[in-house]
Amino acid sequence: MTRVAAVLAAALLVLAGIPANAADPAAGQAKSGMCATCHGKNGIGTAPNYPNLAGQKSQYLAQQMHLFRSRERKSEQMNIIAQPLSDQDIQDLAAYYESLPAGGS
Ligand code: HEC
């Protein structure tokens, strides 16, 4: 095996261990900057009409974001905000908010 092939094989082995679509809370945190305006840095809504997300189940959060994106769930604000989110963004954000303590911190 050439050196290049050996390096490539090693890289593939490393990549194979990391599913590309795993939900990543750290990546979600990095993507949550603008969400914090309304849902709070700690996932607690900053006004009475902004729901808390902290500690909510990620499957539910992801489902709501998909529904906002497809406009099956109507919300003037969230329909616009969810538009540019990829499936990966949604998974990461949902995992991040689930990881936060429900009562805030
Ligand atoms: C301008 C304020 C605003 C911003 C910014 C915002 N949201 Fe929201 N979000 C809302 C409002 C208002 C609702 C409630 C919508 C409704 O009336 O159904 C909501 C609802 C949600 C829900 C559903 C909660 C539930 O219990 O059903 C999720 C999930 C959510 N937002 C995620 C996000 C994420 C992730 C971001 C950042 C990418 C974000 N939001 C940015 C205002 C905002």
Residue listed under structure tokens 């969230």: 78
Smallest Cα–Cα separation from 68: which of 84, 51, 44? 84
Residue 18 has pLDDT above 60, yes or no: no
Rounded distance between C-alpha atoms, residue 25 and residue 10, angstroms: 27
pLDDT band at 104 (very low <50, low <70, confident <90, very high): confident
Ligand 1 center from residue 51 Cα (angstroms): 7
**More confidently predicted of 11 and 87:** 87
Ligand 1 center from residue 11 Cα (angstroms): 39
**C-beta separation of 93 from 31 below 8 A:** yes
Mutation test residue for ligand 1: of 32, 39, 50, 52, the one with most atoms within 8 Å of CB: 39
Tell me which residue has its CA closest to atom 18 in ligand 1: 75
**C-beta separation of 39 from 46 below 8 A:** yes
Ramachandran angles phi, psi of 9, nearest 5°: -60, -40
Please give the mean pLDDT across all residues of the chain.
Answer: 91
pLDDT band at 71 (very low <50, low <70, confident <90, very high): very high
**C-beta separation of 91 from 21 below 8 A:** yes
* Ligand 1 in reach of 75 Cβ (< 6 A): yes
Distances (CA, A) of 6 to 17, 19, 42: 17, 22, 45
For the segment 30-45, the average pLDDT, to the nearest whole number, is 97
pLDDT band at 5 (very low <50, low <70, confident <90, very high): confident
